[in-house]
Structure 1
Amino acid sequence: MLLFNVYPAFSNLKYGYIDKAGKYIIEPKFDEAWYFTEGLAAVEVNHKYGYIDKTGRFIIKPKFEAAEPFSEELACVRLDDKYGYIDKTGKFILQPEFNGAQSFSEGLAVAQKGEEYGYIDKTGKSVIEPKFDGAEDFSEGLAKVCIEQKYGYINKTGRILIEPKFDGAEDFSEGWAKIILEDKVGYIDKTGKVIIEPKFHWISVFSEGLACVSIITQ
């Protein structure tokens, strides 16, 4: 859960945190700073990442080479060039053994072994074996995967529900996903049915049922 009343802000080559009034509640002293999620924020000091609370106090000392925001009570971090997952005390729940990894979403996380991507659960068990050229977080029960430079969608058993045939794709939101075919943008539903034909050069996010579009004419 994001704490929307606290925002990273950049001043004098350092990051701090401001409130909605623009007042610094944590003075700029970090080299990089993420949003707060689940009560903590990842920050960088001297090329190492740790986690602070809303007072700016380090709860987890900076010792990681990279760090993601907390999601579903765990955070993905990199140590000695391998990725693993820690809890809010900084203890490794899943040891750093992956070549690449992403945050947990809907109970699963992308994990890379060798050159291929699959999905693990919070025990570290491989739920979907690494077999994809690329993979993204689950959203609304589906995840975008890449096979031979084409994008499609799988369910949580790893079954392909929408064949990889798109040149680009985004996560599902409210039942629709943005897709790209031959540099044109459209939308599909969860069955793969085209809802909006890919004929636009750009489409904004839908808000209150409407979206802004762009068509480039010669």
Structure 2
Amino acid sequence: MPRFWANRTWSWKWVRIPLLVISLSCTPSQGFGTADVVASGRAMVPSCGGIFDLCGYSDRQSGKELIPKLFERAILFSEGLAAVRMNGLFGYIDTTGKVVIEPRFDLAGPFHDGFAEILVGQQTGVVSESGEVVLEPQFGRSTPIMGDVLIVRKGHFRPKRPPELEELESFDGLYTEYGPMGLYSLRKGWLTEETYEFRRFERGRPGYVWARDLRAKQSRFGLMNNEGEWKVEPMFDTVQPLFDGRAVVSVKVKDTETRRQLWGAVDADGKLAIPIAYDWLSYWDQGYSVARLNGEEGFLDTGGSLLGGRFFEKVERDLQGKPLKVQLDGKWFGITADGRLVDVPEVVNCLLLPKIPSARAVFRSYRRTVIGGCAAPTSACLSTLSSKRSRVFAAGSPGCQTRRRMPGAQSAQMAKVAVSPIAARLTTSTSCPITIRRNSTLTRSEAASSGCGPT
């Protein structure tokens, strides 16, 4: 019998949301990760099912089976290897399905710079791509982050999920609740004391991490290198990762009798690129951040200049993150790339369904809902609106249950996919052009270019 399971999606540019999908009782572990899929050399994702409830790997776009369903659990490929469970223990396979690291671990994580975290009993260690255990299990966490440098916590592993969903997250998904940690080198041993909190500074193969000493009287973040030394001395109260070459930071300041936060941004070297002078800054996307100052908003570029040369009452981006419109004297205007004010583009909110037979797209245009066919089956996206009541239905999909007939639908067979209130996307094709953000809208031209438009 089919059951529902929660698949968690992560991309440092997108929002992470729970998504209920129909699956058989075997659960593919971890969400879709484009970087991992590309690094494998083939667009392979876990797929589970069959009479024996096992997992294999399929082509991400076509759904064609590439590695047979032989495993109890299957985790996404990273650096050409994927952790799989056989007879209760984890090992690793390559992209041909060949076992290259024999199953002998209770849990196994993704590879990063040639190393992966493994769990034996209640403690973690590290295995290399050759299958050699280069760090015997002895820590609560041993997460590779920069070459042979790990983020390590002493003690025992602390499960966060049910056994069938448990995983060893990469640094990007590491829980801060694990407590103080330290930097540890496979060659040199401890680089710092185990008193720090770490946060990501850049994606891929970082040269630095945000760090702060939790013992300090005034615990602030600075940039630390892979030797455990400060690149930028601790001076920030909150920090964010790099986006478009800028990382948002803030400092708490005392203003007369009140305390407030001021926001700015640093560049890829940790140097201050945007003055710490704003009431709030969003992360940079498509070359712009949304900046707030004295109750007004504006689009701030990476050089610190305002689009249009001024602030407005409110501003909004489009689905791709580009500046879309601004409010001035209570009226909305569109805004061009050179800062000119124009008429607001006509918009339509579009939901693209994944590739399901007879899938239909649901459009919400102002106050009416219309049903339209999606003309671009290769652009398989599931996008959600920010409404708490948003629901997506697909007609005629296999294994679905009868729910209710939607206006204009040709079949009463509906597969119901519930989405979270936070707008985001689950992409099943690397060529998918649509991204739904919180409170974002889609212009009709964008809908048409995505192959999806009202009929």
Q: TM-score, normalized by length of structure 2?
A: 0.35
Which of 176, 189, 192 aligns to 2:287? It is: 176
Partner residue, 1:84: 182
**1:65 pairs with 2:140:** yes
Return closer, same or farther for 1:104/1:178 CA change in 2, 3 Å cut-off. closer
Partner residue, 2:197: 100
Deviations 1:90-131 (A, max 9, x none): 642513344212457453221202221111233333232212
Distance 1:195 1:120 in 2: 34
Partner residue, 2:224: 120
Distance 1:55 1:186 in 2: 52
Return closer, same or farther for 1:199/1:137 CA change in 2, 3 Å cut-off. closer
Q: TM-score, normalized by length of structure 1?
A: 0.63
**1:133 pairs with 2:237:** yes
Q: Over aligned residues, Cα RMSD in angstroms?
A: 4.6
Return closer, same or farther for 1:128/1:70 CA change in 2, 3 Å cut-off. closer
Distance 2:107 2:275 in 1: 38
Distance 2:242 2:199 in 1: 11
Paired amino acid for 1:101: F
- Where do residues 10-25 of structure 1 align in structure 2 (5 Å cutoff)? 21=66, 24=71
Return closer, same or farther for 1:118/1:49 CA change in 2, 3 Å cut-off. same
Return closer, same or farther for 1:211/1:101 CA change in 2, 3 Å cut-off. closer
Q: Tell me the percent identity.
A: 18
Distance 1:97 1:110 in 2: 15
- What is the aligned residue count? 206
Paired amino acid for 1:86: Y
DSSP 3-state at the match of 2:145: coil
Unaligned runs of 5+ in 2: 1-34, 49-54, 59-65, 72-82, 91-105, 156-178, 253-260, 323-430, 442-455
Indicate the structure with greater helix content: 2
Deviations 1:32-87 (A, max 9, x none): 65432212222444443322345766432332223433334422222366433234
Return closer, same or farther for 1:117/1:42 CA change in 2, 3 Å cut-off. same
1:152–1:166: 8 Å Cα contact kept in structure 2?
no
**1:49 pairs with 2:114:** no
Return closer, same or farther for 1:71/1:121 CA change in 2, 3 Å cut-off. closer
**1:154 pairs with 2:266:** yes
What is the CA-CA distance between 1:201 and the residue it aligns to? 8.2
More deviation, 37-46/198-207: 198-207
Paired amino acid for 2:220: E
**1:165 pairs with 2:278:** yes
Paired amino acid for 1:134: T
Indicate the structure with greater strand content: 1
Return closer, same or farther for 1:44/1:130 CA change in 2, 3 Å cut-off. same
Distance 1:118 1:18 in 2: 43
Partner residue, 1:192: 304
Return closer, same or farther for 1:135/1:215 CA change in 2, 3 Å cut-off. closer
Distance 2:290 2:107 in 1: 32
More deviation, 195-204/123-132: 195-204
Unaligned runs of 5+ in 1: 12-16
